Amino acid sequence: MVVGFNSAANLMFLKNACMMPRSCNKILLPALSTSKIGSRKYSSQSDEYTHVIVGAGSAGCVLASRLSEDSANNVLLLEAGPKDTILNSFRLLWKIHMPAALTYNLCNSNYNWYYHTTPQKNVNNRVMYWPRGRVWGGSSSLNAMVYIRGHAHDYDRWQSEGALGWDYDHCLPYFKKAQSYEHGEDTYRGGSGPLHVSEGDASGPLHQAFIEAGKQAGYPYTPDINGFQQEGLGPFQMTVHKGRRWSSATAYLRPALDRPNLHTKVRTMTEKIIFEGSKAVGVQCMENGTPTQFRASKEVILSGGAINSPQLLMLSGVGNADDLKEMDIPVVQHLPGVGENLQDHLEVYVQNKCKKPITLYSAQQPVNMVKIGVEWLWRQTGMGATNHMHTGGFIRSKPGITHPDIQYHFLPSQVIDHGRVAPEYHAYQVHVGTMRETSRGWLKLKSKNPNDHPIIEPNYLSTEDDVIDLRQCVKLTREIMNQKAFDEFRGEELRPGPEYQTDSEIDAFVRAKCDTAYHPSCTCKMGSESDPMAVVSNEAKVFGLENLRVIDASIMPSVVSGNLNGPTIMLAEKLADNLRGRPALHMPNTPVYQPESLLTQR
């Protein structure tokens, strides 16, 4: 779900405009000693940290902030990528901090792991591009900033899947704790947390047409998709504050950098967890090309995300023993679920030309982009200060479903190939995808080299149910887009196009054009120790090992109905309390919207 101002001229203009001196975070480092492991010499710090966190992404920044609130802790946060750049108190790196420029980050290997899947046999053997953040803030510094929590029933499902204590009533208070909602605190929304959440301006004619068309098609309106009624169409919210991206690095990490017990390292690639028997005692890394070790007296915490965390576990001898032996990696703990259960959301774009010149196409022309960029650099206002996804929602694909399983993002623009191709027309589009795919994938090591990306097999559309559900997405979306509310704007359908009408034709379109919604998850699933595929306990402790946790989107038992940044921050907040020995927050019996009848609700 992306929009951006794509122009080489604008890129160079803003890049040159931003070439100013940088300030650095000063870190006092303990003395170093050296040790030798294998044929490589590693420098080892003589002072131990209490906690070593691997990955400064959506979860890692939360953990670093919360754990360093306790003066008895001495926390080290490691990041393989760079900082998100700061000049005094102003976030200078426009490509990350300017909300409308987000497509530059999705296509920039400087801040992005730039992953690719295996050829997907059920989607015309296409190799799918998976951008993931490799920078302070992780993917929250690259994403489309849409703030979605998922449905209450998703978390009740987690509980039924073996993640005890992760039902909605135990998760909601941590969503609230994390958040400062611009409309203030209520039963469902927080008002004083680090993560600022604002509402997009849904007053534009195309956004209003989308909401009204939903009503005309029989779907409910909801004023707050993250509140009581997590169903229907309405305004969307975003992690944007005062015209800037509000990543986890901005929300959590930067305000904590002056604490003497929080230390950070960037461009530090963690290669392996160090074990003494079954106890994790540290990590070995390459820090700016120098082999280094860091020791942890309490916990090593992996927060690298759904790809990096299982990869690091396997590199360290934790995973399927047969696979590790094939790689000649000594087995520390046999856990066959590591890298399994990979889940993601697929989506397609339904696009129409617009008969009126009121889309973002004009703003995406070079002269206008420069004007927009200058205004944003000067004031953080204007069209550069938003993600432009101001409306969307959730509907049900068929009667009888417990909660909505189709998500919409409406955008008054045209996106082609992750934003890597410039838009061609005045157009508007709906990003539509299913929320509970039944296909399951996996990832495995390609080699013992930590710099080799793992083999990523999402196994898209491997079940007939998933094909039928995406077909239904196209049909229901066309129905909405053809309502009276769009009559004055609706031009030619660009995608799928009039030539795709029958079920088999729509299926062919889906296989040719579906793509990731950027939500990989569940590769180190949380659950009961009796579940052979579970990797971590309900406290995120890796089974069979001591002092080792995984805390990121990889531990979700199943993917939630929506975008993952908000839920990942929530689970990190909840587990930070657990790490600090605090009782879990609980809001019992919180009301959740239910339609009068599941059989008649659209």
Q: Which of 547, 572, 520, 522 is nearest to 174 (CA)?
A: 572
Radius of gyration for the chain, computed over Cα atoms and rounded to the nearest angstrom? 23
* In the block, residue with structure tokens 């969503």: 175
Q: What size, in residues, is the chain?
A: 602
Q: Where are the alpha helices (DSSP H) in 316-393?
A: 321-326, 366-379
Residue 283: enclosing H or E segment and its boundaries? strand 279-287
CA distances from 478 to 305, 430, 431 (A): 35, 10, 12
Distance CA 212, CA 199 (A): 18
Q: Where are the alpha helices (DSSP H) in 292-407?
A: 305-315, 321-326, 366-379
Asked about 519 being catalytic, the answer comes back as yes
Distance of CA 65 to the CA centre of its chain: 19
Spell out the residues 6+ positions from residue 163 whose beta carbon is closer than 8 angstroms to its own. Answer: 526, 527, 538, 557
Distance CA 268, CA 286 (A): 6
CB 344 within 8 A of CB 305: no
Distance CA 356, CA 329 (A): 61
Looking at this protein, which amino acid is placed at residue 332? Answer: V
Distance CA 49, CA 298 (A): 8
**Per annotation, catalytic residue among 153, 207, 519, 586:** 519
Helix (H, G, I), strand (E, B) or coil at 136: coil
DSSP string, 433-482: EESS----BEEE-S-S-TTSPPEEE--TT-SHHHHHHHHHHHHHHHHHHT
CB 502 within 8 A of CB 474: no
Distance of CA 112 to the CA centre of its chain: 13
CB 594 within 8 A of CB 185: no
- Point out the residues that are catalytic: 519
